[in-house]
Amino acid sequence: MPATAPADRPQPAIAAALLDPAAPVPPGLRAGNGSDPAARLAVHRHNVDAAWARALADGFPVVRRLVGEAFFDTMALAFARRQPPRGPVLGDWGDGFAAAIAGYAPARGLPWLAEVARLERARVRAALAADATPLDAAAVQSHLVHPQRLPGARLRLHPSLAALSFEHAALSIWAAHQLDELPATLATDGAEAALVLRDAGDAVLTLAVDRPTAAFCAALAAGRPLGAAAAEAGAGLDLAAALALLLRHGALVGWEPALEAA
């Protein structure tokens, strides 16, 4: 039977005691079956910790496999106590985990780990993102026949799309862990980039792209006009190929033409 608080005991005190393993038992807390309140509180703390670690393990399976269960659980709980869930759906929680990993001292020798976490979180967010109807080729072509309007046009991308650039081989590391058997050696060096999005069949895709394409898509997603997004991507961008890629995977869902000068 769970520990209970007296009627005049505010529930935040119980929540704070659950979140902080060093916190004392709140005054007046008692167990309904007459058992030791401290022992019952410890059981509930363990259950909360286990639920948090399990929720993060579900969303970051490759990160967990890379560092092992014990290391992952310790890292996950350190994050959870600083940034506990704010709602009842644990799948919505975890956006800050990659940044927490980057600042976690015991993981400092694994500089690619936080990048793998970013990729895994992007895949979860893609699965949970809202639906949107993609533009078809004819709709896109109707805009391309007005080249003078292209630089100022704003393209809306599918809500599931994330454009990621990595300083290490995070995509290769993640992809290797999707195989039945890991390769004998796995390089971690080398900058990479990826697009994550959900296709028309609700499958979450992870596409390897070059860094200019990722930068271009990130700029579009941030609301930059087409010309500005292309400029941010740099001279290495193949604009036609990038647009074709977005169109092929149903990632273009809106096109706002530039207004002609009055």
d(CA 194, CA 252): 17
Q: Is 175 helix (H, G, I), strand (E, B) or coil?
A: helix
- pLDDT at residue number 262: 38
pLDDT of amino acid 9: 45
Q: Do 30 and 60 contact (CB within 8 A), yes or no?
A: no
Angle at 249 between CA 245 and CA 255, to 5 degrees: 75
Q: What is the pLDDT of residue 183?
A: 87
Mean pLDDT in order along the chain per 10 residues (262 residues): 47 62 61 61 65 91 97 94 82 90 96 98 96 94 90 97 98 95 88 96 96 98 97 96 96 88 42
Q: How far is residue 238's CA from residue 228's CA, in Å, rounded to a whole number?
A: 14
Helix (H) or strand (E) holding 229: helix 226-233
SS3 of 91-111: HHCCCCHHHHHHCCHHHCCCC
* Structural domains for the chain: 1-110 (no CATH), 130-262 (3.90.930)
The reported pLDDT for the residue numbered 18 is 63
Give the pLDDT confidence score for residue 84 in this predicted structure: 87
